[in-house]
């Protein structure tokens, strides 16, 4: 299916108070063949919505004056079949999930590169999905009819039974995707459903500026697994833009033509947010009678893949600090509880280190939030690169990091803390040459404390104590004189 051929049948309504943004998007969509309308004023937007009954509404969230749910509800009251595309300056992933059942198909960040091309790509995919919704049952009906006719002909003529591919409906395929445990599972399921149809998938390796084939549903495709195509610097300059416009890079096109004899290769990309992960490739000139249905399946898969990535990102955001990308306080609390219970059950030590950046408030006041965030990221990177595989590093406060060290004694925690202190002290955090120091407090169960809460409290007290003494040192908590551990541990556990 070539959506450009169907574009004149679709109406797109754009609402934005930003004249440059709205007009740029309208021009791009109109040039693609869609009937588009750009509205700056809200009253005119509602009037035009009723007049034209658009298939797609593009809503600039920075232009709305009331809660978003009021706009969505009002649009749905007019027609529940209107597809919505949000333009936003923020990371509003939650919006997409909350409104997914109300027609929201895409959330696009206005600060991303190639904005107008991304909007057009979203409109193309959305209109394809709308078209597929109406076409799906018709396709299935025609396939079933063809199957009956073939079987009847075989019965009448006594010929050998001819196998004909009967594709699942798109809704059935999407339901299968819901059990996918990874992005790779989605791609694998698609190729299982489209076996023996001429389709290729190439992963994109940005570090090598190359496409590498990982999946194919063609005869003898195993011979070509791992086939690669390196792009020249000129081709990588506007690669995403070219792919969104379905322009195949020349060197890549040559490899496909030589190896698979594709006459007119066409690409459908896979994105994880703004990152190109790969492309599906098929031949638009293929003589296979199911090529259009296959293209519909691939487009639907591409849409589902983007939604899957957004949902996974949401799940990740629940346990991840947005600045440092370390685990957050919520994850820390759960992990500390689990590790404590495991240590107690196995009678092994569990250590905890708390870290604070020295003079943090002064750095923030004098150098500003952007510099503060760069420092936080740099310190987090040092922690991640120098820890053990089973250590758990989290950001648990504005100026507090925590490292959970399973199977680690107080001696091991002290050594780890001192090594980390020296690395951060000697590490240049930014291009400007700025250096910072940290204060570290350590504690360990069962040698120094009684339970999970006292393990964290004692580490925090140690950190704050040494910070008050000038910082850039470590402090190991000292247990009370009458303290009796729950069990003994090997001090050499590092």
Query: Which segment of 72-81, 285-294, 305-314, 427-436 scores lowest on mean pLDDT?
Result: 427-436
Query: Which segment of 14-18, 93-97, 443-447 scores lowest on mean pLDDT?
Result: 93-97
For residue 21, pLDDT over 50 is answered with: yes
Q: Give pLDDT, residue 462.
A: 96
For residue 432, pLDDT over 70 is answered with: no
Q: Spell out the domain ranges in the chain.
A: 3-120, 165-317, 329-476
* Average pLDDT for the chain: 85
**Out of 3.30.70.270, 3.40.50.620, 3.40.50.970, 3.30.310.80, which CATH number does the structure's domain 329-476 have?**
3.30.70.270
Task: Report the half-sphere exposure of 492 (CA within 13 A, side-chain side).
Answer: 0
For residue 141, pLDDT over 90 is answered with: no
Q: Give pLDDT, residue 136.
A: 53
pLDDT tens string 462-485: 999 999 999 999 999 999 889 999
Residue 193, token pair as written in the block: 């459903």
Q: Give pLDDT, residue 221.
A: 52
Query: Which segment of 138-147, 335-344, 380-389 scores lowest on mean pLDDT?
Result: 138-147
Mean per-residue pLDDT for 89-106? 71
- Which CB contacts under 8 angstroms, 24+ apart, belong to 227-232? 227/255, 227/259, 229/202, 229/255, 229/256
Stronger pLDDT, 422 or 100, i.e. the higher one: 422
CA 324 from chain centre, in angstroms, equals 17
Percentage of the chain beyond pLDDT 70 is: 86
Report the alpha-carbon distance of residue 85 to residue 99 in Å, rounded.
Answer: 11
pLDDT tens string 209-261: 889 888 888 765 554 566 778 888 888 888 988 888 888 999 899 888 888 88
Q: What is the DSSP letter of 309?
A: H
**Out of 3.20.20.70, 3.30.420.340, 3.30.450.40, 1.10.150.120, which CATH number does the structure's domain 165-317 have?**
3.30.450.40
- Which CB contacts under 8 angstroms, 24+ apart, belong to 416-423? 416/351, 416/353, 416/494, 417/353, 417/442, 417/474, 417/476, 418/474, 419/386, 420/353, 420/355, 420/382, 420/383, 420/386, 421/472, 421/473, 421/474, 423/382, 423/386
Q: Per DSSP, what are the bridge partners of residue 395?
A: 401
Q: Give pLDDT, residue 452.
A: 94
| pLDDT band with cut points at 50, 70 and 90 for residue 383 | very high
- Residue pair 195/288 in contact (Cβ under 8 Å)? The answer is no
Query: In which residue are the tokens 């007019």 written?
Result: 78
Q: Where are the beta strands (DSSP E) in 370-421?
A: 392-397, 400-406
| pLDDT band with cut points at 50, 70 and 90 for residue 204 | very high
Report the alpha-carbon distance of residue 472 to residue 230 in Å, rounded.
Answer: 49
Length of the chain: 494
Q: Residue 320: phi, psi to the nearest 5? A: -125, 135
Q: Which CATH class is domain 3-120?
A: alpha beta
For residue 423, pLDDT over 70 is answered with: yes
66's CB contacts (< 8 A; 6+ apart) are none
Q: Residue 473: phi, psi to the nearest 5? A: -145, 170
DSSP 433-483: -----EEEEEEEETTT-SSHHHHHHHHHHHHHHHHHTTSSSEEE----TT-
pTM beyond 0.75, yes or no: no
Q: Give pLDDT, residue 194.
A: 81
Strand-by-strand arrangement of the 474-476 sheet: 392-397, 400-406, 350-357, 438-445, 474-476
pLDDT tens string 389-420: 889 999 999 999 999 999 999 999 999 999 99
DSSP 257-285: HHHH--SSEEEEEEEETTEEEEEEEEETT
Q: Give pLDDT, residue 469.
A: 94
Q: Give pLDDT, residue 319.
A: 86
| pLDDT band with cut points at 50, 70 and 90 for residue 159 | very low
């Amino acid at each position: 299916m070539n959506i450009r051929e169907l574009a004149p049948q679709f109406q797109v309504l754009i609402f934005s108070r930003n004249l440059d943004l709205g007009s740029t998007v309208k021009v791009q969509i109109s040039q693609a063949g869609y009937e588009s309308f750009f509205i700056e004023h809200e009253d005119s937007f509602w009037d035009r919505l009723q007049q034209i009954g658009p298939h797609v509404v593009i809503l600039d969230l920075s232009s709305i004056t009331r809660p978003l749910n009021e706009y969505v509800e009002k649009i749905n009251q007019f027609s529940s079949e209107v597809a919505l595309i949000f333009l936003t300056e923020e990371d509003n992933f939650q919006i997409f999930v909350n409104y997914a059942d109300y027609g929201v198909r895409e959330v696009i960040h206005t600060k991303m590169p190639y904005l107008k091309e991304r909007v057009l790509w979203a409109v193309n995919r959305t209109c394809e999905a709308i078209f597929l919704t109406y076409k799906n049952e018709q396709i299935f009906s025609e396939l079933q009819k063809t199957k009956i006719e073939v079987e009847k002909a075989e019965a009448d003529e006594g010929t050998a039974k001819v196998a004909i591919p009967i594709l699942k409906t798109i809704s059935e395929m999407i339901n299968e995707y819901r059990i996918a445990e990874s992005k790779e599972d989605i791609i694998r399921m698609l190729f299982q459903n489209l076996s023996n149809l001429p389709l290729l998938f190439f992963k994109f390796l940005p570090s090598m500026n190359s496409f590498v084939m990982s999946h194919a549903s063609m005869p003898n495709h195993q011979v070509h697994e791992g086939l690669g195509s390196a792009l020249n610097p000129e081709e990588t300059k506007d690669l995403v833009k070219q792919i969104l416009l379905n322009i195949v890079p020349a060197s890549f096109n040559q490899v496909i033509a030589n190896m698979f004899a594709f006459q007119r290769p066409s690409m459908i990309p896979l994105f994880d947010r703004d990152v190109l992960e790969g492309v599906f490739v098929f031949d638009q000139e293929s003589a296979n009678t199911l090529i259009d249905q296959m293209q519909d399946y691939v487009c639907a898969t591409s849409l589902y893949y983007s939604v899957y990535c957004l949902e996974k990102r949401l799940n990740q955001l629940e346990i991840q600090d947005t600045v440092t990308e370390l685990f957050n306080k919520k994850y820390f609390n759960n992990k500390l509880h689990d590790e404590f219970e495991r240590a107690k059950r196995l009678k092994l030590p569990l250590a905890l280190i708390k870290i604070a950046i020295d003079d943090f408030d002064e750095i923030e006041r004098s150098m500003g939030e952007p510099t503060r965030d760069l420092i936080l990221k740099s310190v987090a990177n040092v922690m991640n690169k120098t820890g053990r595989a089973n250590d758990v590093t989290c950001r648990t406060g504005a100026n507090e990091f925590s490292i959970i060290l399973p199977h680690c004694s107080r001696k091991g925690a002290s050594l780890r803390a001192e090594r980390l202190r020296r690395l951060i002290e000697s590490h240049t955090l930014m291009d400007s040459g700025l250096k910072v120091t940290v204060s570290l407090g350590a504690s360990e169960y069962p040698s120094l404390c009684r339970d999970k809460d006292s393990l964290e409290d004692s580490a925090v007290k140690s950190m704050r104590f040494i910070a008050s003494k000038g910082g850039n040192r470590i402090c190991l908590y000292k247990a009370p004189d009458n303290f009796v551990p729950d069990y003994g541990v090997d001090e050499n556990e590092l």
